[in-house]
Structure 1
Amino acid sequence: MRAKRRGQDSVIADLRQEGALKALFPRVRGNALDAVFLNTSGGLTGGDRMVIAAEAEAGAHIVLSSQAAERGYRAQPGEVAQVDVTLRAGAGARIDWIPQETILFDHAALSRRLSVHLVGDGSALIVEPLVLGRQAMGETVRAVLFRDQWRVWRDGALVFADAISLAGDATALMARQATGQGARAMATVLLAGPAAAERYGRLRLDGLSGASLIADDLLLVRLLANDGFDLRHQMLGVITALADVPIPRVWRL
């Protein structure tokens, strides 16, 4: 999908959708274009592929979220679900990628790739929360394959790269002192744009979570929590501090 600036508002310039992935457009609450993605298949398993591409043209603002938590289900041996997201923001534009949690079940296999391309003073807020099973249901993730790769370019130059890999017993991996110290849920948040340094001072983090101002225009936040409920409470505060518009209604507890 692509959005453009019309007066003070951001509106749809182009939209294409197919397969199980659909886009919904709630009633606008401000000048940004709100888009909510829905995976009508109900989740991801080995062999599935989901591709999302969104562009905010010069001066436009897109806020993208998901209608519900994504689910990574048990995959057959050797099969890995693929998710590719490409975001572009032109000069003076902003794009917010704020999907709800991805829940990984035992024996899930998921590989994600996120590419962000910024022009001039274009900005992006990226939020990716991850939950290892549903603790309230007594679920334990003993075998999983999860890869998450982020790349951010500004005017063609690579300014940020990050990768997370979980392979094997995720519960044991997250129990280690140097990884999660027993956390069952985590999130990575990145604000790339001129407001990063100023928004850094607004953050209030809990427990093992932390933030790093990598550059004046690049702020990274890592969140850790005991479960998805605690993680969401942390994220609501972080998103409120970093966003320019109200949190999408689908995020409200």
Structure 2
Amino acid sequence: MLAAQVTDKPYKGWQASLALQFCHTPEKTLLHSARHVGPLTVQRPFYPEGETCHLYLLHPPGGIVGGDTLDITVRLDAGSHALITMPGASKFYRSSGPRACLNQHFYLAGNATLEWLPQDTIFFPGANARLRSVFHLQATSTLLAWELYCLGRPVINETFSHGALESRLEVWREGEPLLIERQHLSGGDLSSVAGHPWEGTLLFHPASDALLEDVRERLSAFEHFAGATLTDGLLSVRFLSHDNLICQRAMRDIWQSLRPLLTPKTACSPRIWQT
């Protein structure tokens, strides 16, 4: 999703923001407002399954470089249901020093449902990136979300041999923390991910023991490098892999399995995934 030529000249970077708000009507969920600054926008909404709003987030420059800052805020009013994805992978390119930042905040009102299903995020060797994703839920909010990071470009045997990645993932429910997770990678040290280039996280709320067991049965492809936990109704799934296809298959399989258990809808894959 998210190219620019890296040079030795000072680069101030793009300062981009996008604020989305969804509202519920008797007919369907509407994109009530979409305000953007800089190269960050959305396509018109799609309704392939009736009232649920499918939306594609766009970043025309094609990549994020040092000095760029992107801020995304998504708000769902009570009863609304939105599925948000992207046409392609996000890319953090090599930096000559400045840091690239991506901040994402999601606010779900009561009985609102968010499916945050971005494509993978690729960190090129030498990238200097900081990411933060924060989900604010109510007790009756429903969340289905995932993140998939690619460290380097394993398809050409390129590793994340240098650079820095700081990421922070938070889930709050009615002002109380359910999950606060931090990661820091630098200097080519990938020991914390056991040398794997692909790492994924999936989040589901509200979840039960039955959903936990269902997910654990679907993680066999990752052998010893996957796990699922259930804490105060939040189901967290994590895995490491050397194979992107295994990652994508497992993530979509888990999402397709849990969607009809968390919402009144069977899985309806965004058509952009088929292109």
- Read off the aligned partner of 1:240 and give its amino acid letter: Q
**Equivalence for 2:237:** 221
Deviations 1:169-189 (A, max 9, x none): 0xx41xx4xx33332101111
Per-residue deviation at 1:26? 4.8
> Per the alignment, in what secondary structure is the counterpart of residue 17 of structure 1?
strand
Does residue 115 of the first structure (1) align with residue 115 of the second (2)? Answer: no
How far does residue 153 in structure 1 lie from its aligned partner after superposition?
Answer: 1.6
2:133–2:170 Cα contact (<8 Å) kept: yes
Structure 1 Cα separation of the partners of residues 187 and 124 of structure 2: 13
- Structure-1 separation of matches of 2:274 and 2:183: 27
Residue matched to 1:210: 227
Distance in 1 of aligned mates of 2:185 and 2:69: 19
1:11-41 Cα distance to aligned partner (Å, 9 max, x none):
1111112311111135311221111111111
Are 2:211 and 1:199 aligned?
yes
Give 2:250's aligned residue: 234
Equivalent of 1:181 in 188, 194, 197:
194
Q: Could you tell me which residue of structure 1 aligns to residue 112 of structure 2?
A: 93
Query: Structure 1 residues 196 and 42 mapped into 2: Cα distance closer, same or farther (>3 Å)?
Result: farther
* TM-score normalized by the length of structure 1: 0.90
Structure 1 CA distance for aligned equivalents of residues 212 and 90 of structure 2: 29
Is contact 1:239-1:247 (8 Å) kept?
A: no
DSSP 3-state at the match of 1:201: helix
Q: 196-205 or 63-72, which moves further after superposition? A: 196-205
Rounded Cα–Cα distance in structure 1 between residues aligned with 2:139 and 2:64:
36
2-side partners of 1:50 and 1:151: how far apart? 18
- Structure 2, unpaired ranges of 5+: 1-19
- Secondary structure of 2:35 counterpart: coil
Q: Unaligned stretches of 5+ in structure 1?
A: none
TM (norm. structure 2) is 0.83
Structure 2 Cα separation of the partners of residues 228 and 122 of structure 1? 31
1:198–1:18: structure 2 CA closer, same or farther, 3 Å change rule?
A: farther
Change (3 A) 1:29 1:197: farther
Query: What one-letter code is carried by the residue in structure 1 that aligns with 2:105?
Result: T
Q: Indicate the SS of the match to 2:272.
A: helix
Distance in 2 (CA, whole Å) between partners of 1:199 and 1:25 is: 33
Over the matched positions of the two proteins, sequence identity in percent amounts to 26
Matched, 1:65 2:85: yes
Query: For residue 153 of structure 2, what is the aligned residue in structure 1?
Result: 134
